[in-house]
Every structure is written in structure tokens, then in C-alpha cells.
Chains A and B, each alone.
Chain A
Amino acid sequence: MENFILSGALNQINGRKDSMLEIKDLHAGFEGTEIVKGISLTVNKGEIHAIMGPNGSGKSTLSKILAGHPAYEAMGGTVTFMGKDLLELSPDQRALEGIFLGFQYPVEVPGVNNAEFLRMAYNAKMARQGKEELDPLDFDDILDEKMKLVGMDSKYKDRSLNEGFSGGEKKKNEILQMAVLQPKLAILDETDSGLDIDALRVVANGVNKLINQDNAIILITHYQRLLEYVKPHYVHVLSKGEIVKSGDKSLALDLEAQGYDWLTPVPK
């Protein structure tokens, strides 16, 4: 059992914490092809984990499996989130449990008003918590505040969801959604890619505002850059569907300097 919880081992050094997400020996893929090949990872409350790794190593696949994308299937292993079997839940239920996926490629939904979409999502959460749903006027106040926080112009409220948004605008819109929904666990899949310096700072800011003792974040990234603003507790390297190395943030620096080659698993 001890080999799978690398970060868990590190936790023990830091003292006992509440576990939020526990992935055990997860195998998953797409149309019968295994892409994620036995990943184990524990994320505790208050932690920031960075996942790095070469293109095509399975990072997005892992994030989609966690969010419940219907095209991907879990082929073995377990995922527990806040004590619940995550793989049993539909995507919307997972979101309502507190999981948020920042998409690597946010989807355009023509004709769906951005503000209205955000309100729908917000109200779904309110309904789940037995709280009162907000009408457009009341929600607008919340939205204005959050948009300011992520530095988004209010004109994006009345645009169709992501339609015609630039790459960077889409990423900011993901952070806006995260800020509105305040998830327990945010999985940000390359949210830093395609951002200019200012936007990167905004994203980092959003992440730092979200993180507290009750939340956790998984950052999937290719760049050390983001990690200068957001300090991860752990860095994992994913290669060919496996976590081949875990360490602290200095690992990210090593990777930046040396690339991934030295970590690629030796063929058996």
C-alpha cells in the first residue's frame, strides 16, 4: 500500500490532514484504450498539487475522468471524494459535490448567455445546499464583484458562452466560473496556457483567493511560470499514463531545466 500514496507520505511529515480526494490505482481510457495506467494520488484539504508531464501523457484524460466525461471510462481502481465513490456520480452531481474542472479547451455554446449560464450553475449549487436561488438582479451583484476580481469587462456578461472568445478570454472565463462556484476541489487543466502576463497574474490571483484550509487545487501545467505565483505543495510528473515522480516544488524547476526525458519510464 505504501507505494501509491507518495503525497500521503509527505503529508505525514507535515502532520495528519483531512483527505479530500483519494485516487487508488486508477486505470481509465477511451473506447477500450487504456490511457491512464494505474494512478494513485491523495489530495488533502488545503493542498495545491501540480501535475506536469509531456504532451499526450494523459493529464487531460485524468481530469476528464474525475469530472465524469461520458466518453471516458474508468477501467479499474477507485476514486473517493469527500468519502463518496466519485465514479458513481453523474457530472452534475460531481460538480455539486464541489469538483470543478477548468477545461484545457473551454467549449463554445452559441446562444447561451454567459451571465445566464453562470446564474444557472450558481443556482444549481444553491438549490443543492437548500439555499434560495437568486434572480438575475441579485445574481448580477455577485457577478459584478467576481468579474472585477478576475479583471473581466462586464461586456462579457451578455456574450454567448465562450463563443468567439479569444483563447485567453476563454481561460479567464473559466476562472470566473471557478470564482462564482467556489469549488472544494478545482482541477485547472492548463488554465495558464495562452495567457498574457497580466492574465496569468489574474489567474494566479484567483487561485490564491480560492485556496484555504477547506479547499484544494490540482494545477495541470507545462510551465514553471504559474508556479512562481501559486506555490504548489507537491509536484507530480505524469508520463505515459503513470505518475513517474512526485516531489516538492523544486521538481518543477528541475523539469524546466532538464525536460522530461530523464523521467520517462524504462520499457519493461
Chain B
Amino acid sequence: MKTNTVPKPSVSEVLENKDDYKYGFTTDIESDVFLKGLDENVIRAISQKKNEPPFMLEFRLKAYRKWLTMKEPAWPNVKYPPIDYQNISYYAAPKARKKLESLDEVDPEILKTFEKLGIPLEEQKRLSNVAVDAVFDSVSVATTHKKKLMEHGIIFCPISEAVQEYPELVEEYLGTVVPVGDNFFAALNSAVFTDGSFVYIPPDTVSPMELSTYFRINTEETGQFERTLIICAENSYVSYLEGCTAPRFDTNQLHAAVVELVTLDNAEIKYSTVQNWYAGDKETGKGGIYNFVTKRGKCLGKDSKISWTQVETGSAITWKYPSCILMGDNSSGEFYSVALTNGHMQADTGTKMIHIGRNTRSSIISKGISADYSSNSYRGLVKVNKSAANARNYTQCDSMLVGEKCSAHTFPYIESANSTAQLEHEASTSKISEEQLFYLESRGISRENAITAVINGFCKEVFKQLPMEFAVEAQKLLALKLEDSVG
């Protein structure tokens, strides 16, 4: 019943990407960009630009003050030169943006950009079965299918709009899953975030379509700090997709997003990401996105479920641990991940499953593929609190190496304070097998297709979780990224 389809063009477009990063273009539009640097005035200015109620400014300032006392985490298994946070512009928006009544008012250049990315936003062209929120630099430029969703009582809009239209909902939930001082990057995000998506699914509602947000960084030397908040009320279900690209710049850009999910009793959120930010130059490693993201879901209600599926194929550095806090009794969390690194990419990614309620279950399936000079780490925490009687976790963590100069690492942490917990962990590391490739090739299958098949087979349990067409295209994306690496 919960099958859905996804924008075919978007992904085929992603596919043509190949080694040459296809989204490396910039859009020439007039932007309203703040001067570089960060202080309380900048934060007040952001809040003012966004016409925010006082509670939001308070939220931001509290986060900022907290951030000032915090240190950038040094524990991830990644290396990068220090980031100068005063050398980033914290606000960039397409100029002259009034509240848009219709898409006709969106800068045609921006519409063209999204169309080029395979996300047509115009009424006639847009995808009938997927609602899209398009975020360009710091602001949401268009959200499709809002009306139809509204008929079901579903709210899907830019978070900047939600702050104004549904302040009670935002105030009630914002920062309850990822507190303002949770970590260095989350604190920064809480202080300066400018846009992102907001979703509210009312009780007893199955969303009639996939919801998706498409992020695009356009301006050089701006950070993107988007904020997503999804609330799924009792007995409801939503499947949400996220896609990302950025132009090719020689400088590194910071992307420090925060995503918060909340499920009430018997509700389910399925959150899928295909991340293909610019990863920097394949040979020199120059440029690319620093993807430092905090994603966390809270299963607040009993029998509720949150499922993360991620296919991470881009970014110079990825630091990301989509997590679940399992508070409600019988609630469950899932994490399915494929992380591919090539060139000089570094990824430190994994999950945290925090068991608090009774009979809570979690499963973690992680597939890491490293090629070229890249480094790929899985880091996961399974924590069972005293209160979590009969908690169960299954973790499976497999790494595949393509080539001689790459590396794979696994850092599993387990903390259990309840003796009734059952925790299972399996891990493996292997090289892509020439024997397997030869076997397939000896049947007339081209080397490219053989690689696709082997990698796809390796990632099957994860791809199975994605909506069908998305899965097919994600497989091809991996194959194309690996084509040069397998030789």
C-alpha cells in the first residue's frame, strides 16, 4: 500500500552526472547576501528578515550563546583544515522575495535551475505523485501540491512560513529532538538556520503522496543551514525524500543541517535521502561540501516507528548519524545506509539507537563502499537504558573496498543498562571480487553492468527500502561513480 514513485527525471539527471559532476553549474540571479561573519546582530538580522515571532529570536540567541562555548568535534575519523566561521555568509536569498502567491512570481532563472536538476516546479510539468519543497540557498522558493495536501489536513511548507502560520506547532516541537546545544553544528544551525521544510501529518492520515525536499546550494561562500521538522500524529504515515546538489566551487562549503522527526502513538515516518553534493575534485580533492548534519527522530508515542534510509554518494566530508530515540513502548527504529566514497572523500557516518521504552526494537544495516583514496567509517551507538526492558537490536555492518588505497573502519559502541536486552552485531569487510566480476562478464555482461550488479547485490537490503524507481536510479548512480575506480 505504501508504494510510491519518485521523480524519474530528477534521478536520471542525477545519473548523467557520471564522474564529471553535472550539477556544477551556478545560476546567475541577483541574490541578497549578508556580509560574511557571525555575531548577535547577524542573528537578529536573520530573524528580522524572516519576520519571526519573538520566541524564534530567543531560540536563536540561546543557541548562539551556547555555540560560543562549544568546540568543534574532533572525534570523527575525518581530516580538514579549520573552518573560519567568520568567513562565511549566513544568509543568501534570491533577491526581492515577497511572499509568493504563485509560481509565476518565482524568478524564472530559479525555475530553470530546478528544471535542469530534474525537478520541474511549474504546475503543468510537475510530478503528480510527489510534492516538492525546493530550497535554494537559504530559502524555500516553491512548494508544490500544497492545496491538495491541505485537503487532507497535511501541512507541507517552508519552515520559515510555518514559524509564522503555525507558531504553536513549531514552538511545541522545534528543538525537542535536537536541543539547541546538542552539538557544535546543531547549535550553529539553531542560531542561523534560514529555511527548510515543515511537515505536519494530522491524526489518522496516510499521506496521499511522497513528500520531498530538494536542496540546492548556489552561492559561493555561503553556508547552508536548513532545518527540517516533521511531526506525524497518531496513526499516521508519511514517506519523505530528500535530495541535494551543489555547484562546483574550489572552496569548501559548509552544510550544517538539522532534521527533527517526531512520531506520536502508532505513527510512522519513513525518511529517505539520496545525497549527491559536490565531492570536490576527484584527483586533487579540492573543493566540495562539508556535510555536517544532525538528523534525529523521536518515537514519542507507543508503537510508533521511524525509519531512516540514506544513500550517501557525495560531499567532500560527511559527518552524519541519523538516529532514533525510542521512547514509546514497543516503538522501533531502523537505519539503512549505503555510503559510497571515492576520490578523496571522507565519510564518518552511522547512527544512534537510544532505547528508553519497553520492548523497543532497532535494526541497523550499513553498507560502506570505499574506492580510490577515500576513507569510509561506520560509527554507531546502541544504547539501552535501564527502563528499556526487552530491548532488541540487530546491527549488520559490511564494508567493501574497491582498490588498494582506500580504507574502511567500523566503530560500534554498545551501552546496555538492562540485562534483558538482546543485542546482535555482525560485521564484515571484503574487497570487490574480481572472481565475481569475471563470472558475470563471462556471460556477456559488460564490466560496467557487472560492477552495478555486484555492488547492487551488496547493497540490496538497503535499496529494498527505497521507493522503487529511486532504488533503481540509486543503483546506477553508485555504478557510475565506481566506473573509473574499478578499472
Contact = CB atoms under 8 A, between A and B. Distances in A.
Interface in B451-475: 453-454, 456-461
A70 B439 contact: no
Interface string A91-128: 11011100011010011111110000100110011001
Contact of B457 (A90, A112, A125): A112
A160 interface: yes
B434 A70 contact: yes
B454 A95 contact: no
Nearest to B450: A92
B441 A90 contact: yes
Contacts of A1: none
Given A71-B434, A111-B459, A120 B445 contact: yes
Contacts of A103: 439
Given A106-B439, A111-B456, A120-B453, A96 B434 contact: no
Interface of A: 67-71, 90-92, 94-96, 100-101, 103, 106-112, 117, 120-121, 124-125, 128, 160-161, 177, 181
Contact of A91 (B436, B438, B456, B460): B438
B390 interface: no
Which 9 pairs, one residue from A and one from B, show the smallest C-beta to C-beta distance?
A111-B457, A95-B444, A111-B460, A121-B443, A107-B439, A91-B441, A124-B444, A112-B457, A92-B441
Contacts of B453: 109, 112, 117, 120
Interface string B429-445: 00001111011111111
A124 B450 CA distance: 11
B337 to A, nearest CB: 16
B247 to A, nearest CB: 35
Contacts of B433: 107
Interface string B183-209: 000000000000000000000000000
Q: Which of A100, A108, A111 gathers most chain B CB within 10 Å?
A: A111
Contacts of A107: 433, 435-436, 438-439
A124 B443 contact: yes
Nearest to B464: A111
12 contacts: A90-B441, A90-B447, A92-B441, A100-B443, A107-B438, A110-B458, A111-B461, A112-B453, A120-B453, A124-B443, A124-B449, A181-B444
Contacts of A100: 442-443
Determine the main DSSP class of B at the interface with A. helix
A68 B433 CA distance: 16
B436 A109 contact: yes
B128 interface: no
A111 B365 CA distance: 14
A200 B334 CA distance: 47
Nearest to B461: A111
Contacts of A121: 440, 443-445
Given A107-B433, A112-B440, 17 more contacts: A69-B438, A71-B434, A91-B441, A95-B442, A95-B444, A103-B439, A106-B439, A107-B436, A108-B436, A109-B436, A109-B439, A109-B453, A109-B454, A111-B456, A121-B440, A124-B445, A128-B444
B458 A95 contact: no
A122 to B, nearest CB: 9
A121 B405 CA distance: 32
B114 to A, nearest CB: 32
B51 interface: no
Contact of B442 (A68, A111, A112, A160): A68
B457 A110 contact: yes
B446 interface: yes
Contacts of B445: 92, 95, 120-121, 124
Given A109-B457, A110-B457, A112-B457, A177 B447 contact: no
A125 B447 CA distance: 14
Nearest to A93: B444
Contacts of B457: 109-112, 160-161
A181 B441 contact: no
B40 to A, nearest CB: 53
A181 B445 CA distance: 12
Given A112-B453, A112-B457, A101 B444 contact: no
A68 B445 CA distance: 13
A204 to B, nearest CB: 22
A106 B439 CA distance: 8
Q: Which of B440, B441, B442, B450 gathers most chain A CB within 10 Å?
A: B442
B443 A177 contact: yes
A121 B454 CA distance: 14
A92 B444 contact: yes
Contact of A112 (B434, B446, B456): B456
A106 B440 CA distance: 11
Given A107-B436, A109-B436, A95 B441 contact: yes
Nearest to B438: A69
Contact of B446 (A68, A94, A124, A177): A124
Contacts of A111: 456-461
A98 to B, nearest CB: 9
Nearest to B398: A110
A112 B454 CA distance: 7
Contacts of A67: 438, 442
Contacts of A94: 442
